[in-house]
Amino acid sequence: MPQNIPIETSLGHLYGRDCIYLDGFEFEEKMGTLVLDGCINGNLCATKQPGRFVPYTLRFRGVLAFKMVELDSCDWDFESSFDEVRDSDWIPLLGGKVTAAHHHFFVQTYDYVFDVVCNDYEFEIILHEG
């Protein structure tokens, strides 16, 4: 049975529809990389950044598959706005190049939900002092 595990970021866990804002995304086909850019509502992080919107870039590498669904059209029940789906039902359905190194991630932004099967990710959060 799938299990949703919240991802610990440098701002802690991220919660709520208003937490992750998406300014844009791009799929770099030659690199097999999905890149999401935007900002995080600092009020909705486990490590609060009151009144701040913190820029981020989230890169999923070695992408085998991804789905994007408008938030109000998505049937989701996740712990946080960024989870790993352990024992995913989706990964075995992909077949092909799937290995034990592949992981299923879920990202819920203000407008869209992304499901991604990939090798790894990098979540760059840009904290400016002052």
Distances (CA, A) of 16 to 7, 69, 76: 14, 17, 12
pLDDT at 113: 92
State what percent of residues in the chain have pLDDT above 90: 79
CA atoms within 13 A on the CB side of 5: 13
Of 63, 69, 72, 103, residue with least CA distance to 87: 103
pLDDT at 77: 65
Per-residue pLDDT reduced to its tens digit, 28-70: 999 999 999 999 999 999 999 999 999 999 999 999 999 999 8
pTM higher than 0.85: yes
